[in-house]
Amino acid sequence: MADKKPFVLRVSPEMLKELEDWANDEFRSINGQIEYLLNKAINERKKGTRKRKTDD
């Protein structure tokens, strides 16, 4: 397993509840769900960056 660096993330109680429900629906921990969503967003951003560079 890769090393992971812990950090504090402040979210509203409403957002935390939504994340908890979403994580439960997908059989993940809240931390796992946040990590999944961040990885997905980063990968989509990288794909968009590649398209913009080739479109120029």
Could you tell me if residue 17 is inside a domain? yes
Q: Where are the beta strands (DSSP E) in 1-56?
A: none
pLDDT at residue 1, as a whole number:
61
Domain extent at residue 27: 13-55
Could you tell me if residue 22 is inside a domain? yes
pLDDT at residue 15, as a whole number:
97
pLDDT digits (tens, 9 = 90+) for 1-54: 679 899 999 999 999 999 999 999 999 999 999 999 999 999 999 998 776 666
Q: Residue holding tokens 């560079």?
A: 53
Could you tell me if residue 46 is inside a domain? yes
Distances (CA, A) of 42 to 20, 26, 30, 32, 38: 21, 20, 18, 15, 6
Number of domains in the chain: 1
Could you tell me if residue 37 is inside a domain? yes
- Residue from 3, 32, 5 nearest 19 by CA: 32
3-class DSSP state for residue 12?
coil
Could you tell me if residue 4 is inside a domain? no
Q: Quote the pTM value.
A: 0.77
Could you tell me if residue 6 is inside a domain? no
- Residue from 41, 31, 8 nearest 22 by CA: 31
Could you tell me if residue 1 is inside a domain? no
